[in-house]
Structure 1
Amino acid sequence: MTTPRIVVIGAGLGGTIAAYEINGAVGNRAEILMISDSDTYSFVPSNPWVAVRWREPEAIQVHLPPIFAKKRIGFTSAGAKRIHPAEKRVDLNNGESVNYDYLVIATGPDLAFDEIEGFGPNGGHTVSVCHTSHASEAADAFEEFCKNPGPIVVGAAQGASCYGPAYEFALILDTELKRRKIRDKVPMTFVTAEPYIGHLGLDGVGDTKTLLESELRNRHIKWITNARVTSFEAGMAHVEEVADDGSVKSKHDLPFGYSMLLPAFRGVPAVRDIEGLTNPRGFILVDKHQRNPKFPEIFALGVCVAIPPTGPTPVPVGVPKTGFMIESMVTAIAENFVEILDGKEPTHEATWNAVCLADFGDGGVAFVAQPQIPPRNLNWSASGKWVHLAKIGFEKYFLRKVRKGESEPFYEKLALHVMGIRKLKM
């Protein structure tokens, strides 16, 4: 009897810990192979720090091949070109193919900068913190900006499904500009598709509306909600503010010397437009066990998973997949593989709770949502300088675990510890 092969695609936050945890759960009962498009793991939550040079890229990156070799997990950085579910095969970018018995898709998103004219870091007029390489380029642009400061526009475009980093980066910029004593020369505007400040794609958590509005107001950052960006040109963002009935309430031409907006996400080309596997945006369809209904040997986790929005909004707003939520998907999949290899049907489900530490450089906002999608059993948020310190500690903790190849839960253990809320059962 041949040993089944479990292939994991994507060595980001979710895929890396999935490979570790699945390997630990199934032992020598299955062969594990990781397909990545890079030899390097990057701790994406620290990208806003990279963009103002509070971190250098190498400080938040881990070289993966020797770690996977030590864990006896196969690894290739050729990257996945196309998945063929009916054949249980993955074509790689180097022309080779890999067969699988089971597939775990953890690719993260494709960044849809091309959906808005002039948007993005590659040939567009804005910077990005979505990838560490983007954030490094954003740091160079920020240094040039500081030589001749002017207006800044920060936020999240229509269809975005990740809002925390937009708030983080706006307020980190505010903190850094104050340290350089040029904040008085920099008008700032926060532009977001959210129907209100602090919505976060989750219809708010606790009192995030009041907390984040107060932060922006106290730091003299103006905002535009229900915003639909129509285009960017050099030094100018063109934005429509949409009314509740979907009509255009007003138009804004926002000059900028520096701008970063988070884009909408979609599925990566390797999985897009495969009937039964993905929705129209290319996100993977899964059941409550993280399993695709049409191709039951395929599982998915993280940002690439299809989740419907919390409700209708005047401008499209996606749902974030936070680290704690992703971690619970990983554990459910690992435990389900144990059952599958025992000849049983999978029974484990992800909890889909959310814990977030949003750092502002000199403070921050934290929230806990159980479950992430309302209505909730727990709905809590708080702010303070302790959040900044907690985020630093979390970064060190997480990177240490990745470097050691350890699969124990990261988010639950650390987040509950630093927030001092062990009494809140997740």
Structure 2
Amino acid sequence: MANIVVLGAGLGGTIMAYEIRDRVGKEDNVILISKGSTYSFVPSNPWVAVGWRDREAIEVDLEPACARRNIALKPQGAERLIPEENRIQLLDGSSVSYDYLVISTGPELAFDEIPGFGPEAFTQSVCHIDHALETKLAVDRLIANPGPVVIGAVQGASCFGPAYEFAFILDKALRDAKVRDRVPMTFVTSEPYIGHLGLDGVGDTKGLLESELRNHHIKWITNAKVQRFEEGKVIAEELNEDGSTKAVHEVPAAFTMMLPAFRGVSAVRDIEGLTNPRGFILVDRHQQNGRYPNIFSVGVCVAIPPMGKTPVPIGVPKTGFMIESMVTATAHNIERLVRGEKPNAEGTWNAVCLADFGDGGIAFVAQPQIPPRNVNWSSSGKWVHAAKIGFEKYFLYKVRLGKSEPFYERLALQALGIDKLKAIKLDP
């Protein structure tokens, strides 16, 4: 009998627990550690921030779903991983021991790295449901008293899609409220060019996103390093390609929402051999840590080197199918270890992304996600908005029922007609 623990119950961790439960024996224990017993669908937060969704619409009670699948839910949250003892200290003082551990904590939001940054200071956020609900109140104030808006992503950020999404969703909400003509908008990003997305672009995301920004009357500043946020303004240094200063901008801002850089959570940070200096988990091609071979990791908390040198540091995003690819490979590999065999599955790390713009959107397929690629495709249209709604409904339904099959693979196969997009590949 094996004790298999999944640490973190976000997009990756929840389906990780489900998929492991499908693969291991009934005598094996599957334990899901979460801070609280509620799953929240983070991709819907931009909709929450303008009032198109509420908390109840995007959250799932994990207790009945886990009970249905014979998964033990520990909602106390983790205080510290102690890998030398194969156990996790929980916030209530108790401990959970494991034979195999999958770390899927997601990130800690590094607002403190820039003065004036974060919901406690001068900016809004869509990174958490609580933040998004606070942002909705700020949007209401903006509509009542229109003024300039700044949206984007700061230096070190690795998740750019939600920034673009929220810019266009807010544009739509302001048009619906008949105040868009009184709200100048500026997109400020650490990307070297619009549509880079931390992926050096996918298909024509540069052209598509530049065109969308122009059509929506949104100005932009790239290669931006934010110096500080103040009440009513964003101070950002724009860099040249060689890293020298091109200009320092003081952008007026009655409302600001910028995505932060990420780092590993405190429960796993600063463990030698397990994490890199930012606290992300070091894994090999089998999602397995080198120093602690009974520890695996999936999702945003995995350490991935940047695509290359850029004037302003940026990271690589972990998109939905990429994470599901990690999950499927990890479940396969843990199943083999439980049976006394060696890991042999590797996630393909393909990307299928839907970026909703309120009444349209952009989709892209990158196979694999990190170039060079066999498939490098992007497109736009109103169908993306409808597809994103379908994705939300399907994924929440899957979490409620405890389903583990990859959604993105089926979406790619059926809607996009790609016949060789697989979740994993096996060693020969």
Q: 2:37 aligns with which of 36, 39, 42?
A: 39
Q: CA RMSD in A?
A: 0.9
Q: 1:284 aligns with which of 281, 285, 292?
A: 281
Measured after TM superposition, the shift of residue 416 of structure 1 is 3.8
Q: 1:420 aligns with which of 389, 402, 416?
A: 416
CA distance in 1: counterparts of 2:331 and 2:264, whole angstroms: 23
CA distance in 1: counterparts of 2:223 and 2:103, whole angstroms: 32
Measured after TM superposition, the shift of residue 415 of structure 1 is 4.2
Q: In structure 2, the residue corresponding to 1:22 is in which secondary structure?
A: helix
Q: In structure 2, the residue corresponding to 1:104 is in which secondary structure?
A: strand
The letter of the residue matching 2:379 is: A
The letter of the residue matching 2:23 is: A
CA distance in 2: counterparts of 1:85 and 1:230, whole angstroms: 38
CA distance in 2: counterparts of 1:401 and 1:152, whole angstroms: 36
Work out whether residues 154 and 259 of structure 2, in 8 Å CA contact, stay in contact via their aligned partners in 1. Answer: yes
1:151 equivalenced with 2:148 (yes/no): yes
Measured after TM superposition, the shift of residue 133 of structure 1 is 1.1
Measured after TM superposition, the shift of residue 425 of structure 1 is 3.8
Which residue of the partner structure matches residue 98 of structure 1?
Answer: 96
Cα deviation 1:169-198 (Å, max 9, x = unaligned): 001111111111111000000000000000
CA distance in 2: counterparts of 1:400 and 1:341, whole angstroms: 30
1:151-190 mapped onto 2 (5 Å cutoff): 151-190=148-187
Which residue of the partner structure matches residue 205 of structure 1?
Answer: 202
Which residue of the partner structure matches residue 52 of structure 1?
Answer: 50
Cα deviation 1:373-393 (Å, max 9, x = unaligned): 011011000000000011011
Work out whether residues 412 and 418 of structure 2, in 8 Å CA contact, stay in contact via their aligned partners in 1. Answer: no
Cα deviation 1:318-366 (Å, max 9, x = unaligned): 0000010000110001111121111111000001000100000110000
Q: In structure 1, the residue corresponding to 2:101 is in which secondary structure?
A: strand
CA distance in 1: counterparts of 2:7 and 2:333, whole angstroms: 18
Which residue of the partner structure matches residue 83 of structure 2?
Answer: 85
State the percentage of identical aligned residues.
Answer: 66
Measured after TM superposition, the shift of residue 414 of structure 1 is 2.7
Q: In structure 1, the residue corresponding to 2:331 is in which secondary structure?
A: helix
CA distance in 2: counterparts of 1:231 and 1:299, whole angstroms: 37
Check 1:235–1:213 CA distance in 2 against 1; reply closer, same or farther (3 A cut): same
Work out whether residues 321 and 350 of structure 2, in 8 Å CA contact, stay in contact via their aligned partners in 1. Answer: yes
Structure 1: unaligned runs, 5 residues or longer = none
CA distance in 2: counterparts of 1:72 and 1:424, whole angstroms: 33
TM-score by length of 2: 0.97
CA distance in 1: counterparts of 2:377 and 2:406, whole angstroms: 21
1:67 equivalenced with 2:65 (yes/no): yes
CA distance in 2: counterparts of 1:147 and 1:187, whole angstroms: 15
Q: 1:376 aligns with which of 370, 373, 376?
A: 373
Which residue of the partner structure matches residue 25 of structure 1?
Answer: 23
Q: Give aligned pairs, total.
A: 422
Measured after TM superposition, the shift of residue 412 of structure 1 is 1.1
Which residue of the partner structure matches residue 312 of structure 1?
Answer: 309
Q: In structure 2, the residue corresponding to 1:98 is in which secondary structure?
A: strand
1:255 equivalenced with 2:235 (yes/no): no
Check 1:17–1:319 CA distance in 2 against 1; reply closer, same or farther (3 A cut): same
1:5 equivalenced with 2:29 (yes/no): no
Q: In structure 2, the residue corresponding to 1:133 is in which secondary structure?
A: helix
Which residue of the partner structure matches residue 340 of structure 1?
Answer: 337
Structure 2: unaligned runs, 5 residues or longer = 423-428
TM-score by length of 1: 0.98
Check 1:71–1:425 CA distance in 2 against 1; reply closer, same or farther (3 A cut): closer
1:285-304 mapped onto 2 (5 Å cutoff): 285-304=282-301
CA distance in 1: counterparts of 2:160 and 2:15, whole angstroms: 23
Q: 1:141 aligns with which of 115, 123, 138?
A: 138
Measured after TM superposition, the shift of residue 409 of structure 1 is 1.2
Q: In structure 1, the residue corresponding to 2:346 is in which secondary structure?
A: coil
Q: In structure 2, the residue corresponding to 1:349 is in which secondary structure?
A: strand
The letter of the residue matching 1:93 is: L
CA distance in 1: counterparts of 2:187 and 2:350, whole angstroms: 27
Q: 1:15 aligns with which of 13, 16, 27?
A: 13
